[in-house]
Amino acid sequence: MSAPSSSPSPSPRKRVLSGVRPTGPQHLGNLVGALRNWIRLQDLYDCQYAIVGWHALSSEYMNSKVIRANALEVALDWLSVGLDPAKSVLFLQSEVKEHAELHLILSMIVPLPWLERVPTFKEMQQEIRDKDLNTYGFLGYPVLQAADIVIYKADFVPVGEDQAAHLELTREIVRRFNRIFGDILPEPETLLTEVPRLAGTDGRKMSKSFGNAIFIKDEPAVIRQKILPMVTDTRRVRRTDPGEPNDCPVFTLHKAFVPKDAREEVAQGCRTAGIGCLDCKKVVLDHLLRELAPIQEKRKALEANPKAVWDILEEGNAKARRVARATMDEVRAALGF
C-alpha cells in the first residue's frame, strides 16, 4: 500500500472530551445545555464523549446496579439526538481501565487543600443528604475528571459554568504533573457553553434531582401534562393581565425551542394580554413535540435492539483504549516505571 502522494496529510483535528454521569435518561436541560453543542462540535473536532460510570459510583455506591442501566439510557438518548459513532468516540469510562491508573497516579501529587476547596465538594454534601458523600472517592471526584480529560490529551472540554472549577483544577494538576515529571500532558481549555437556564416544571432550574425535569424520552402526553400546569409570570393572575415573558419560566422553553419570529409574536401577545398562558404553552408544546418526534422515533427503534447500542459503545471503548494506552505508556516512562 502506498500513501496518496498528491494530497498532503491533513493536520490532525483538535481533540474534544466531555462526559456525563449515568444518573438516568437525559432531560431537555441536557439537550439544550450540552448535547446540541456536542453535536455541532462533531464536525469541527475529534470528539470523545464519555459516560462516566465511576463518577456515578462516587455517589451511587449503595445502588451500583442501576449505573449500567442508566448508562444504556444515556447512550440511547445520545444516539437518538444525533451523537454519531461514525464521527465521535462514544464510550464507557469504566471500561477503559487506564482512567483508574492515571487517577491513582495523579492522586499522589494533588495536595488535599486543592480538593477541599472545590466548591462542588461541600455543596453536593449539603444538597444530597440521603447519601454519605464524605468519602475518599468523592473528594477525589475532580482528580478522576482530570484523568478523563488528560488521558486523551484533550484540547477542549465543553462544559457548563458549574464545571469551571473542576476544569481550573485539572489545569493546576497538569501544571504540577509536568513540573514534576516533565512536559507530557497538555493543559485543556474550557469551552464554556453559554446557555440560558432552562426552567423545570416547578420554575426552578431543570434538574433531575429536583424532580422537575422533562425527559427527551417522555411521551408527548406526559410532556403536555408537565407543561400545561407550569407556573407562569405571577403578574398574569387573570387572562386580561399583561405579563413579562422574561420573568416567566415557560418562556425559557420558548427561548430554547421556538424560532425567533413565533417567539416574538408570543412575547408581544403576553405583554399586551393578547394571548392567554394556555395559548402560549400550546405554542411551545407544538414546537417541542415536533422537534422531539424524530428523536423519539429513533430512540424506540434503538430500544428494540439494545445489543446494537452496547456494540457501539464497545467499539468506542476500544478506540478510547488505544489513545489512553499510548498516553499511559508515556506517563509510566516519565515516572521511570
Q: Which residues bind ligand SF4 (CB under 6 A)?
A: 232-233, 236, 243, 245, 248, 250-251, 270, 275, 277, 280-281
Query: What does 148 interact with, of ligand SF4, ligand TRP, none (CB < 5 to 8 A by kind)?
Result: ligand TRP
Q: 158 - beta bridge partners?
A: 191
What's the distance, Cα to Cα, between the start and end of the chain in Å?
37
Residue 286, C-alpha cell as written in the block: 407544538
CA distance 202 to 325: 46
Query: What does 99 interact with, of ligand SF4, ligand TRP, none (CB < 5 to 8 A by kind)?
Result: none
- DSSP letter at 65 equals H
Place of cell 392567554: 276
User: Measured from the CB of residue 236, what is the shortest distance to ligand SF4 in angstroms?
Assistant: 5
Q: 19 - beta bridge partners?
A: 50
User: Measured from the CB of residue 203, what is the shortest distance to ligand SF4 in angstroms?
Assistant: 11
User: Measured from the CB of residue 95, what is the shortest distance to ligand TRP in angstroms?
Assistant: 14
At residue 172, what is the residue type? E
Query: What does 95 interact with, of ligand TRP, ligand SF4, none (CB < 5 to 8 A by kind)?
Result: none
Residue 199, C-alpha cell as written in the block: 426552567
Query: What does 233 interact with, of ligand TRP, ligand SF4, none (CB < 5 to 8 A by kind)?
Result: ligand SF4
CA distance 313 to 177: 31
State the burial class of residue 162 (Cβ atoms within 10 Å of its Cβ: 0-12, 13-18, 19+): exposed
* Longest CA–CA separation in the chain, Å: 76
Query: What does 214 interact with, of ligand TRP, ligand SF4, none (CB < 5 to 8 A by kind)?
Result: none
Return the number of the residue (187 or 244) whose C-beta is nearest ligand TRP.
187
Query: What does 251 interact with, of ligand SF4, ligand TRP, none (CB < 5 to 8 A by kind)?
Result: ligand SF4
CB of 232 closer than 8 Å to CB of 202: no
CA distance 148 to 19: 8
Return the number of the residue (153 or 271) whose C-beta is nearest ligand SF4.
271
User: Measured from the CB of residue 55, what is the shortest distance to ligand TRP in angstroms?
Assistant: 5
Q: 49 - beta bridge partners?
A: 18, 90
Return the number of the residue (23 or 252) whose C-beta is nearest ligand SF4.
252
User: Measured from the CB of residue 141, what is the shortest distance to ligand TRP in angstroms?
Assistant: 7
Query: What does 236 interact with, of ligand SF4, ligand TRP, none (CB < 5 to 8 A by kind)?
Result: ligand SF4
Return the number of the residue (208 or 271) whose C-beta is nearest ligand TRP.
208
Residues found near ligand TRP in the complex (CB under 6 A)? 17-21, 52, 55, 145, 148-149, 157, 159, 163, 166
3-class state of residue 272 by DSSP: coil
* Phi, psi for 234 (deg, rounded to 5): -65, -15
Return the number of the residue (161 or 314) whose C-beta is nearest ligand TRP.
161
Closest residue to ligand TRP: CB criterion: 19
